[in-house]
Amino acid sequence: MRVLVWHVHGSWMTSFVQGPDDYVMPVDAARSPDGLGRARTWDWPASAREVPLERLRDEPVDVVVLQRPRDLELVERWTGRRPGVDLPAVYVEHNTPAGPAAATPHLLADRSDIVVAHVSDFNALMWDSGRAPTAVIDHGIPDPGYRYTGERARVAAVVNEPVRRWRVAGTDLLLDVASRVPVEVYGMGVAGLAEHASDLAPFLHDDVPQHRLHDDLSAARAYLHPFRWTSLGLSLIEAMTLGMPVLAVASTAAPEAVPPEAGVVSARPDRLVDAARRWLHEPEDARAHGRAAREHALRAFGLDRFLSDWQSLLKEVTR
């Protein structure tokens, strides 16, 4: 199939383009958010090919995978075809509702011609999808390999834009944990945390390239997932696959994603701190939980299952 898809979420797209299809990726001269083209920092196959926006109207495509509300208008403007009407379409819902939890109608709730593919059962539960047909395709990632050493007696977290996304990202919880156990933080915009916790400044790693991030994370003793409100962070799945034991706030999809043998999931920060302290003093216990985390992640979030689920859905909507 020829799949029209915008480069929106790099980590998710890295998995998606590993499939057997031809991926048409819009690009413009500025590499703007609406014409970002191929990733520059991930290794994508040649089947993910860039097509200039102005040439999309002449590009034969079989299905479009939408990811943002404005993608509906972009498709019609640049191809002359209406998603769900003239062109089969799937809308990937990466996010939890931004409005009231459990009471926010989805953008496509009044339409029955576009499938909404949620990235977790939690997402599907919280959105009011109305008449829209829905599917759940859990995340899947390429296996980065077992890399865990746990040589640094610190707890690592990955949070993008932690200051702007304060309570949503659980930044207040992250700083609470960091006040009691050694923490290091990776992600875009993490340098701003130094204004709120100056002692953390030497341990804030802003926008580390993907190829370095996995090795850097794996040397920390454990992984902390502080998010209050998200579908399910890919960084959590990556940490588990690397072989890291996990500490996670018991909201979103984390309670199902992290079994007891893989780590500690709790709505009480004190319990996360207690587990972190135990692992800092008992590295073999941390290692055992990390091995279990990896085994679970490979079963639940493997790339082959993810790609198979997507092939089934795309064939269904284009039939």
| pLDDT at res. 209 | 84
Residues 115 and 171 reside in one and the same domain: no
CATH number at residue 173: 3.40.50.2000
Same-domain status, 135 and 197:
no
Burial class (CB in 10 A: 0-12, 13-18, 19+), 89: buried
Give the number of other Cβ atoms within 10 Å of residue 304's Cβ.
Answer: 10
* Burial call 257-284: b when 16+ CB within 10 Å, e when fewer: bbeeebbbbbeebeebbbbbeebbeeee
Give Cα separations from 17 to 44, 181, 183 (angstroms).
Answer: 7, 39, 34
What is the average per-residue pLDDT within 184-202? 94
- pLDDT in the model for residue 138: 96
Strands 220-225 and 89-93: unpaired
Q: What is the CATH number for 75?
A: 3.40.50
CA 123, 146, 291, 280 torsion-angle sign: negative
One-letter amino acid of 155: V
pLDDT of residue 41: 73
Domain residues for 274? 152-300
The rounded mean pLDDT for the chain is 95
Q: 216 near 205, Cβ under 8 Å?
A: yes
For residue range 203-250, list pLDDT tens digits in order.
999 988 877 999 999 999 999 999 999 888 899 999 999 999 999 999
Per-residue confidence (pLDDT) for residue 10, from 0 to 100 = 87
Based on the fold, state whether residues 132 and 176 are members of the same structural domain. no
| Residues 125 and 118 sit within 8 Å (Cβ to Cβ) | no
Tell me what percent of the residues of the chain surpass a pLDDT of 90: 92
Within a domain: 197: yes
As given in the structure block, the two tokens for residue 136 are: 């759940």
> Is 94 found in the same domain as 185?
no
The model's pTM is 0.92
Return the pLDDT at 179: 96
Could you tell me which of 179, 139, 114, 180 has the C-alpha nearest to residue 318?
114
pLDDT band at 125 (very low <50, low <70, confident <90, very high): very high
pLDDT tens-place string over residues 7-41: 999 889 999 999 999 999 999 999 999 999 998 87
Domain co-membership, 21 together with 60: yes
Q: Are 63 and 182 part of one and the same domain?
A: no
196 and 258 co-located in one domain: yes
Is the confidence at residue 42, as pLDDT, over 80? Answer: no
In a shared domain, residues 107 and 82: yes
Q: What is the pLDDT of residues 133-190, one digit of tens each?
A: 999 999 999 999 999 999 999 999 999 999 999 999 999 999 999 999 999 999 999 9
